[in-house]
Structure 1
């Protein structure tokens, strides 16, 4: 008996002998992980963080072309923004698009997703594709179509005058309010289906038994939506709200392609003005960098506010 116990004790490795091997394996796994992460980390640092730092340094400088010197005072470009009436107008326009377009688009996307999630709906694939298709259309193509539709002799004026709603054609793209309306309409048309797909994916992850239980308890479809479905969609609603807000604050394409920022900067966005300051008329890269950092700060602040308000998790 004593001999058997002695042999088993010799065969059983001690924890002290295992620890060097485990430590070596852990180090090897860590090294392997960092080997895979290092190229991506370097690319992010070189392609994202380095240009951000360079842009901030550039925002503290004045001059033309390569002849850039640090401003006196250093915040000169930022102080100039407070006196720039065009920048103030583009800031106002951007927030008009944000306040009007984003809520309408997200509510429409939520309604459409809820309708298309019906198990008894026929041709669901066709409807989903038709609503999602606008965001896959080329930006230039849809801009040309919208400019044609809302031209003085376009389809919209012809239809409205033919129905007796208008007495005379409206210069949709030549007036501030109507030009903004066309941009908002274009954004809603193009991006509602995109957000609908997110909501549709979230709806399909909801347990159908919870909806059936609500119906058994006597809840109608409206109460079921607000008290059962909507609370489970909050994370996705928060995500789409943040993405839509960030996209609208950086809006450039519609302002450039639909209205060219006109008339007289009345429909221009901040990013469009940034492009104009950078590459048109008298390029001023220092001032343009200051505008870009203001946009960055607005995006970060609004995203943080939305996270604080929308994310109620402990």
Structure 2
């Protein structure tokens, strides 16, 4: 057997697994998005072909655009906060001293081990209007006089959902940024110090450019995750108050699995999300990533 055929045979189990786990659901979702799929159609075993009608329904539904707006707010806020905080924390733990202890690194990574639904339920106690940890701290420090209804206020609810998501996702970003920092040669900084460069100049001229590849990867991965955030929404607000935390993934879920059980529209919504993530990934790569830097 030639080397080429051996490689095919050795990779065949993985290819078959990906075909079953990824390719089939993607193709089947595309099929559903082009058909009317509800409880009545599923009982009859007949799925009428409607072409692009499900997509036209999406683009004419004000609730869909509300969910997309909320998704963009949550994504921009959470991804920006994750990247900035991850760089800052990674720079801290990259220094010699207390931050390099095993205990501190384990504590930083701990939120990543918390299941998403459990994370949302934990933060309901933090945000509780009466006796919640956040309100108690703010009142005791004199920053506010009366408790704030973080989850019940349309102006704060989407950010209140974003913070637990950031807390859960941040360790992953810290891990990647810290690994990238470990790969930067100390010679660059020594040469810059000899030339009289300040710490701030070294960060902007050496550290940040060399972190660009991993930052692009993080932007793509975290944006793809943020636009489909669901667990914190269902645990904290269930889309409320009103429609203020209706995000794209929640819209797809409600359309598909709650009355009127329009699975075709839900599948179309999921495909729009997938296309959006692909476009954003291309934009990130074009604007930030520079091969050879």
TM-score (norm 2): 0.92
Q: Residue 42 of structure 1 aligns with which residue?
A: 16
Tell me how far 1:120 sits from its aligned partner.
4.2
Which residue of 2 is the match for residue 82 of structure 1?
59
Who is 1:92 aligned against?
A: 69
**Which residue in 1 is equivalent to 2:210?**
232
SS of match in other structure, 1:174:
coil
* 1:3 counterpart residue number: none
1:270 aligns with 2:228: no
1:268 positional shift: 2.0
- 1:63 Cα deviation from its structure 2 partner: 4.2
How far apart are the structure 1 equivalents of 2:37 and 2:6? 47
What is the root-mean-square deviation in Å for CA atoms of aligned residues? 1.6
Look up the SS of the partner of 2:36 in the other structure: strand
What's the counterpart of residue 30 of structure 2? 56
Distance in 1 (alpha carbons) for counterparts of 2:136 and 2:187: 51
2:49 equivalent in structure 1: 70
CA distance in 2, matches of 1:166, 1:225: 37
Distance 1:56 1:219 in 2: 55
Paired residue total: 286
Aligned to 1:312: 290
Q: Which residue of 2 aligns with 1:197?
A: 175
1:1-314 pair list within 5 angstroms: 28-65=2-39, 66=42, 67-71=46-50, 74-121=51-98, 123-153=100-130, 154-313=132-291
Tell me how far 1:227 sits from its aligned partner: 0.8
Cα offsets for 1:198-231 (capped at 9, x unmatched): 0100111111122111112111211111111111
Q: Distance in 1 between matches of 2:100 and 2:24?
A: 50
Stretch moving more, 147-156 or 133-142? 133-142
Structure 2, unpaired ranges of 5+: none
Cα distance in 1 between the residues matched to 2:267 and 2:186:
50
TM-score, normalization by structure 1: 0.86
Alignment CA distance shift 1:122-1:237 (3 Å): closer
CA distance in 1, matches of 2:233, 2:117: 12
1:174 shift after superposition: 0.9
Does structure 1 conserve the Cα–Cα contact (< 8 Å) formed by 2:82 and 2:169? Answer: yes
Q: More deviation in 132-141 or 278-287?
A: 132-141
- The equivalent of 1:14 in structure 2 is none
Secondary structure in structure 1 of the residue aligned to 2:48:
strand
DSSP-derived class of the 1:307 partner: helix
Matches of 1:148 and 1:122 in 2, distance apart? 29
